[in-house]
Chains A and B, each alone.
Chain A
Amino acid sequence: MHSINHTFTFSHPPEAVWQFLTDPDLMAQWLMKNDFKPIVGHAFQFKTNPIPSLNIDGIMHCTVLEIVPFKKLSYTWKAGPGNGKIELDTLVVWTLRPIANGTELHLEHSGFRDPENHDIYKGMMNGWLTNLQKMANYINTTQHGTTHA
């Protein structure tokens, strides 16, 4: 499983950092516009500009999974080209730990598709359709008139 991990330390208590992770107005100031609510099961969106290189329309579809005040926050993070199509189905987990002079904040963004999963077939079918067609043409041509079972 592929994941992104970052640890940042802040010279502020976990309560202050927590505010910036869970107050929609404060979140908008550093992350993205959103309609987050600190309620488990709440579905919300982050909105940014489209990201054509990733085939993402700029809307992150999220659902709050876990809230442990001042300690842990997690939500799903899905995105795609629009029309409900999802290309990216991932998980964001924030963990806060009080340290001597403030807070250690850890981010894990996980669930990026592993090539060994089904996507290997999908990816290869998409990327290699042309090659398969070529191969089929080649086989049809070379086997024309012969019967290789």
Chain B
Amino acid sequence: MAQPTLDTFQVIADPSRRKMLKLLSKNSLTINNLADNFDMSRPAVSKHVKILHTAGFISIQDIGRERYCILKQDGFNELQEFISYFDKFWVSKLKKLETLLNNKLDNKNN
């Protein structure tokens, strides 16, 4: 089925497609999983998915019997990298704090 070629802004101007990108920025989803988040027909969801795919925002991969939509956008990955970096950063720092505080307690008791 022929799809009109949309430019980047036309692709993301649509609120449903923005919401799809947002959902996919957190997780890769099957088209069915994706459709569960929208109050629209399955063919309508598929049409949006196709537009996102054609524009190169997502890739579609067959994994097992399911078709997964996977985000292909560097900007989103960057966000995940920041969060994952600082998440690990804080865990390691807080563990260090715990050790320091425990040593302090030991010194007091000795």
Contact = CB atoms under 8 A, between A and B. Distances in A.
B47 interface: no
Contacts of A132: 7-8
A149 interface: no
A94 B12 CA distance: 37
A30 B93 contact: yes
B43 interface: no
Given A17-B101, A54-B85, A4 B90 contact: yes
B14 interface: no
B105 A12 contact: yes
Contacts of B36: none
A51 B105 CA distance: 34
Interface string A1-38: 01010101011100011001000001001110000000
B106 to A, nearest CB: 11
Given A4-B86, A11-B105, A126 B74 contact: yes
A69 interface: no
A113 B7 contact: no
Contacts of A107: 90, 94
B87 A16 contact: no
A135 B74 contact: no
A11 B87 CA distance: 23
Contacts of A114: 22
Given A2-B79, A30-B100, A135-B7, A120 B21 contact: yes
A20 B97 contact: yes
**Most-contacted residue by chain A among B8, B56, B74, B75 (CB, 10 A):** B75
B12 A29 contact: no
A127 B104 contact: no
Interface string B2-24: 00010110001000001001100
A116 B23 CA distance: 10
A137 interface: no
Interface in B47-72: 56-57
A17 B98 CA distance: 9
A120 B7 contact: no
B91 A6 contact: yes
A10 B101 contact: yes
Given A30-B93, A115-B21, A16 B73 contact: no
